[in-house]
Structures are given as C-alpha cells and as structure tokens.
Amino acid sequence: MNFKHLLIAYALTLPLISWAEPLAVGQAMPPLVAKDQHDQPWGIAADTRLVLFASGRKASNIAMEVLGQQPKGFLATRHAVYLADMSRMPGLITRTFALPSLREQPFTVGVVLDEALLSDFPRREDVVTLIGLENNRIVAVNYAATAETLREALGLTQKE
C-alpha cells in the first residue's frame, strides 16, 4: 500500500471518529491527560467519584458561580474534579482573559484546548455535565442547568 492509499484510507475514517458515541453508564472512564490553569499536569484520579464537565461558556459560568464560593480543597473533599473544554475559545482570549481569571480561583480546573480529547464526553448545550464514577467506571451521567442543581449534586443544601 503506498502513501496515497494510506492518505485516502485516513481521510475516509475521519468522519467515523467524529461520530463516536459519547461515554455512557457502564463504560470505563478513559484516561485523560491535560493541564490545569497553572499549566501543571492534570488528570482524573482513581478515587474520583464525580467529574464536572463544562463544554461552553454558560456551563462554565454555572460551575464558577458554585465553585468560586467554596473553600480551597472543596472538590477534593467531594472526590470531584472540574474539567473545562476551552477548545472553541480563541487562543488570544484564552491566554489574555480566561486562564488568568481561572488562576485566581480556589480550585483546580482541568483545561482542554484540543476538542478531539473530549469528543466522546457527554454534553448538552449550556449545562454542566456530571459524570458519576465508581472504581473508574461511569455509574451516572446527569446534567446541571442551574447553580442550584449543581449545588444539590455537590451536597450543598444552601448557598455557601
């Protein structure tokens, strides 16, 4: 097989990659290697029980409203992590505004700038995806469309 045939085969498989089914209950959580807002290595630890995933600005605003009010180390006490898909944001905006703002927060954010890394993550527009984990297996996928719903998912009974 020559280079031309390989290139054609690759081009024909690209649409199949984008049609991959989202992660679902019962599946193992795939390894994810990313950086946090301080450019440090970030990942989903084996003892993680909840992944908060914001795939857009409105979802991020919901997460920031709730998490920004919590003390440092709050997510760790809940065995939770926060992951933000910033791949659609222009690079200049990301570097100039978004990352500096995130660096001021009392929590760690996994920042993904390559949309392909999260192509199989379940998502809905304008809501925070809540992926429940047990022994690194997905046991639930829910969505928080409001700050109050996210507070409830994190075991917060009132605005703290």
> What pLDDT sits at residue 19?
52
Report the distance separating Cα 81 and Cα 146, nearest Å.
18
131 φ/ψ angles, rounded to the nearest 5 degrees: -105, 110
Supply the DSSP string of 107-138, one letter for each residue. Answer: S-EEEE--GGGGTTS---TTSEEEEEEETTEE
Report the distance separating Cα 59 and Cα 57, nearest Å.
5
In the chain, % helix, strand, coil (3-state, to 5) comes to 35, 20, 45
Name the pairing type of β-strands 128-134 and 50-54.
antiparallel
Name the pairing type of β-strands 109-112 and 137-144.
unpaired
> What pLDDT sits at residue 60?
96
pTM: 0.82
pLDDT, mean of each 10-residue run, the chain (160 residues): 48 47 92 93 96 96 96 96 88 78 91 91 96 98 98 79
86 φ/ψ angles, rounded to the nearest 5 degrees: -110, 20
> What pLDDT sits at residue 25?
96
Report the distance separating Cα 28 and Cα 31, nearest Å.
9
CATH number for region 3-153: 3.40.30.10
| Residues making up the chain, counted from first to last | 160
